[in-house]
Amino acid sequence: TGMRRVRVVLWGRPDATNGVLAVGGTGPEILEASAPFVEIVKSHATALAFIIDELSRLSKTREKLEGGLSSTIEDLTSTHMRLIEKTRKIKALEDVAGAISTHGGQAQPALSAIVSIIARFLEADLVAVLLLDESTGELVVHPGSYGLEGNAMFYRVPLTEERSSSVRVLKTGKPYVSGDAQNDPSVLAVHAKLWGISSIMVVPLTVEGRSLGIIRVGKRGKNAFAAEDLQGLRVIAEEAAVIVET
83 Cβ contact partners less than 8 Å away, ≥ 6 residues apart: none
Q: Are 232 and 89 in contact (CB under 8 A)?
A: yes
Q: 130 with 156: CB under 8 angstroms?
A: no
Inter-residue contact 7 to 22 (CB < 8 Å): yes
Instruction: Assign 178 to helix, strand or coil.
Output: strand
What CA–CA distance (Å, rounded) separates 158 from 140? 9
Q: Residue 140: beta bridge partners? A: 131, 156
Q: What pLDDT is attached to residue 90?
A: 61
What pLDDT sits at residue 213?
95
Q: What are phi and psi of 146, to 5 degrees?
A: -110, 135
Q: What is the pLDDT of residue 18?
A: 74
pLDDT of the residue at 132: 93
- pLDDT tens for the chain, 246 residues long, are 466 677 777 767 777 777 777 777 777 777 677 777 777 777 777 777 777 777 787 877 777 777 666 776 776 666 666 656 656 666 666 666 666 666 565 767 788 888 888 888 888 999 999 999 999 999 998 887 888 776 656 678 999 998 899 999 999 999 999 999 999 998 988 888 888 899 999 999 999 889 999 999 999 999 999 888 898 899 889 888 888 876
Give the pLDDT score at 105: 58
What pLDDT score was predicted for residue 103? 59
> What pLDDT sits at residue 175?
96
Contacts 24+ apart (CB under 8 A), 138-142: 139/164, 139/166, 139/167, 139/170, 139/213, 139/214, 142/108, 142/111, 142/112, 142/115, 142/213
User: Could you give the 3-state DSSP secondary structure of residue 206?
Assistant: strand
- Nearest to 202, CA basis, from 237, 226, 228: 237
